[in-house]
Structure 1
Amino acid sequence: MSHTAILTLILLLLSTLATSSPTTITDDVDSAYTALENFNFPKGLLPKGALGYELDRTTGKFSAFLNGSCSFSLEGSYDLKYKSTINGYISNNKLTRLTGISVKIFFLWVNIIEVIRDDEDLEFSVGIASASFPIDNFYECPQCGCGLDCVNGQVRKFKMNPFVSSS
């Protein structure tokens, strides 16, 4: 067998192994936002300052990493908390089994466990109930501490649909 044939066989075996095994990607700051956009989600689901992410392309399991925990208020009525690591499963138009993100409803903190994109709306589920919001609310990334308008110290109006209870 010639050296060229052996080299071709080795390259073929390596490419087969590379495409059949799970892929984990850890990238730079912008990549966590790009990963969201690659699955048809707006980057504003994550606050500014994401450090990176990991993604297993075979299972859809992902983790996004922030520089510590993060909290902020949107329109003064939605308080959100992000842990330093957000985990879940991602596929086109669907984030499931989420951990690391919670919202305050009345006096109770509840975990957001699922986000589904339905055309131009995003539906957020906390398990027993859900709420839908126009996707254009999430084109801009909020900033830890002050939300969407940190320059003026005022919170930008958050366009929202009525609360929708899950069936």
Structure 2
Amino acid sequence: MFTKSLFPNPFLKSKKLLTKIRCPNNNMSTTQQIGIFISLFLATASPLIATADGGRTTPLTAYDVLQAYDFPVGVLPLGVTHYEINRATGKFIVYFNGSCRLSTEGSYQLNYMSKISGYISKDKITSLSGIGVKVPYLWANIDEVTRNGDKLKFSVGIFSAEFGIKNFYKSQRCR
């Protein structure tokens, strides 16, 4: 025994509508008509999809991506040439023309290699490679950056240092 569904099949309505469409060439099959309908739909829908993020049609910069994960842009210096990110895993690679150095609050010197990588998620960057900090007499790799409210914590192995987020509102120019 069959029961009537509470939810009508949308494909049946679509087929009925499509069979009522008259094309200039009456020799077109239903399959061809459906193909044209889908093509027209996609052609009109793709501008809507492209501008679903508030009208933005230009690609996001590495600095935009940082902000999307709740980090200030100043975590990266100026001069990113391009980047790659896997949104599903958070794996990223950022490229510069060459390595660069800059100083932070507390006279820490940072060295950014021409390629840095790691994993990013909201308020956390892990498995970081390519950014070094000068500690007395040697350079050490920063392997994690965590945001906690208005503080950023930079970790080097078991050691860490916290800085106010206001120090990272602007990206610095490399020396």
TM-score by length of 2: 0.67
Q: Structure 2 unaligned runs (5+)?
A: 1-29, 43-57
After TM superposition, give the deviation of residue 124 of structure 1 in Å. 0.6
What SS does structure 2 have at the residue aligned with 1:48?
Answer: coil
> Partner of 2:31 in structure 1?
2
After TM superposition, give the deviation of residue 58 of structure 1 in Å. 1.2
Change in CA separation of 1:31 and 1:93 when aligned onto 2, cut-off 3 Å? same
After TM superposition, give the deviation of residue 71 of structure 1 in Å. 0.9
Please say if residues 129 and 143 of structure 2, whose CA atoms lie closer than 8 Å, have aligned partners that are also in contact: yes
Of residues 111, 129, 145, the one that matches 1:81 is 111
Tell whether 2:141 aligns with 1:111: yes
Of residues 73, 91, 96, the one that matches 1:66 is 96
Change in CA separation of 1:59 and 1:75 when aligned onto 2, cut-off 3 Å? closer
> Partner of 2:152 in structure 1?
122
What SS does structure 1 have at the residue aligned with 2:166?
Answer: helix
| One-letter amino acid of the structure 1 residue matched with residue 32 of structure 2 | H
- Higher-Rg structure is 2
Cα distance in structure 2, aligned partners of 1:4 and 1:137: 60
| One-letter amino acid of the structure 2 residue matched with residue 118 of structure 1 | N
| One-letter amino acid of the structure 1 residue matched with residue 95 of structure 2 | F
Cα distance in structure 2, aligned partners of 1:53 and 1:112: 19
Give CA deviations for 1:32-77 in whole Å, capped at 9, x if unaligned. 1111111100000111111121001111100111110001223572
Cα distance in structure 2, aligned partners of 1:91 and 1:6: 41
After TM superposition, give the deviation of residue 108 of structure 1 in Å. 1.5
Cα distance in structure 1, aligned partners of 2:139 and 2:100: 14
Of residues 164, 168, 171, the one that matches 1:134 is 164
Q: CA RMSD in A?
A: 2.2
> Partner of 1:23 in structure 2?
none
Change in CA separation of 1:138 and 1:98 when aligned onto 2, cut-off 3 Å? same
> Partner of 2:65 in structure 1?
35
What SS does structure 2 have at the residue aligned with 1:3?
Answer: helix
TM-score by length of 1: 0.70
What SS does structure 2 have at the residue aligned with 1:57?
Answer: coil
Bigger relative contact order, structure 1 or 2 (CA pairs below 8 A, ≥6 apart): 1
After TM superposition, give the deviation of residue 127 of structure 1 in Å. 1.3
Structure 2 counterparts to residues 88-99 of structure 1, below 5 A: 88-99=118-129
Report the structure, 1 or 2, having the larger helix content: 2
Give CA deviations for 1:4-24 in whole Å, capped at 9, x if unaligned. 445649x7xxxxxxxxxxxxx
Cα distance in structure 1, aligned partners of 2:111 and 2:33: 57
Please say if residues 151 and 164 of structure 2, whose CA atoms lie closer than 8 Å, have aligned partners that are also in contact: yes
